Amino acid sequence: MTVTLKDVAMLAGVSVKTVSNVVNGYAFVKPENRRRVEEALAATGYRPNIGARNLRRGRTGFLALMVPELSIPYFGELAGLVITAAQKRGWSVLIEQTQGTRERERETLSSLGPHLVDGALVHPEALEAADFPSDPGGIPLVMLGEHAVDVPFDHVAIDNVLAARTAVSHLASLGRTRIAAIGRNPARGTSSQRLAGYRSALSEAGLSYSDALVAPAEKWHRSVGAAAMKSLLALDSPPDGVFCFNDLLAVGALRAVAELGLRVPDDVAIVGFDNNEESAFSLPSLTTIAPDKTALAEAAVDLVHRRITGDTTSPPQDIQTPFALEIRESTRGGR
């Protein structure tokens, strides 16, 4: 037997309109009513007829999510959270992978349109402002993550400069004085932000900046982190602390230190970025910047939902989601 909105409303003791507001994800429902509706929805097993609903509204029922590579744990985790958040609003998620190249990012952007999706969440790595049409595909677009381009779209990210500064200040607070960075890549906005945070923390701690201690990394992969760490440790004055621009680079660095017979954190303390689940289990476990990925996914889906449901005039929002420094074995003790 099909459960209707009316059945749910009767069980919850609220109006059909209130049930409809909850099901459609509108924000302004009294918390008590929302709770009762959610319980009644669960108890009755109500499922909206999404196909029919989308048809009525002239929607596709799809959101696009553009990411570099799903095999990178940060993006696998983020995509999973976006799918979960979108599902609550009745959307399915179409995933496009760009490998982080400007060409593929531009292609993906230009392929979007209202025949395909109702809105798009876009995590660019190499796009430049000129690559953005003023009205991309005629659909709302939310930018995810840090980027160097100044474009008039909604945007959700953590404060990457502050997060990087927090990571490097932590290393300085441990008495490390030759602090290196791994991950410089001029083509990536995120890299510039994290480099800025690194420099600002060094200067705050009275440490001088040296180009020799900043290792480039075209791809932020484990193997690249291992190779970069080996180069740094081969310097005449090797670093005693390293800030890696993501956890994959840091896991590679951990491995390189061990292969050279050195110890983390005794010889070199290491901090990563992303808080991949892997980092809590590596040996040693990895101190890292932990962005609140759930908050980021939910804020992005909320924003695109608001635009799709009618707010087409308010200025672009810039939402900062929180992060924390997760201190683990790779910087604890030692010396």
Binding interface with a second copy (CB under 8 A): 47, 50-51, 61-62, 69-73, 75-77, 79-80, 83-84, 87, 92-97, 107, 111, 113, 115-116, 222, 226, 251-252, 254-255, 258, 277-278, 280-283, 285
| Measured distance CA(225)–CA(232) in Å, rounded | 11
Compare residues 174 and 251 and give the one whose CB is closer to a second copy: 251
> Exposure of 324 by Cβ count < 10 A (0-12 exposed, 13-18 middle, 19+ buried)?
middle
CB of 109 to a second copy, least distance (A): 14
Closer to a second copy by CB, 79 or 217: give it: 79
Report the nearest approach of a second copy to the CB of residue 83 (Å): 5
Smaller CB separation from a second copy, 280 or 325: 280
Cα–Cα distance, 126 to 207 (Å, whole number): 31
- The answer to whether residues 240 and 270 touch, using CB atoms and an 8 Å cutoff, is no
Q: How large is the C-alpha radius of gyration of the chain? A: 23
| Distance separating alpha carbons of residues 127 and 107, to the nearest angstrom | 11
170 close to 327: Cβ distance less than 8 angstroms = yes
Q: How far is the CB of 294 from a second copy (least distance, A)?
A: 11
Considering beta carbons, is residue 42 or 212 the nearer one to a second copy?
A: 42
CB of 302 to a second copy, least distance (A): 19
DSSP state of 61: S
**Min. distance of Cβ 156 from a second copy in angstroms?**
19
C-beta of 161: minimal distance to a second copy in Å? 27
Nearer to a second copy, 156 or 286 (CB): 286
Task: Residue 281: count other Cβ atoms within 10 Å of its Cβ.
Answer: 9
Nearer to a second copy, 11 or 254 (CB): 254
Residue type, 296: L
Rank residues 198 and 220 by Cβ distance to a second copy and give the closer one.
Answer: 220
Q: Which amino acid is at 307?
A: R
CB of 60 to a second copy, least distance (A): 10
CB 170 within 8 A of CB 325: yes
Q: Is the dihedral of CA 145, 84, 316, 321 positive or negative?
A: negative
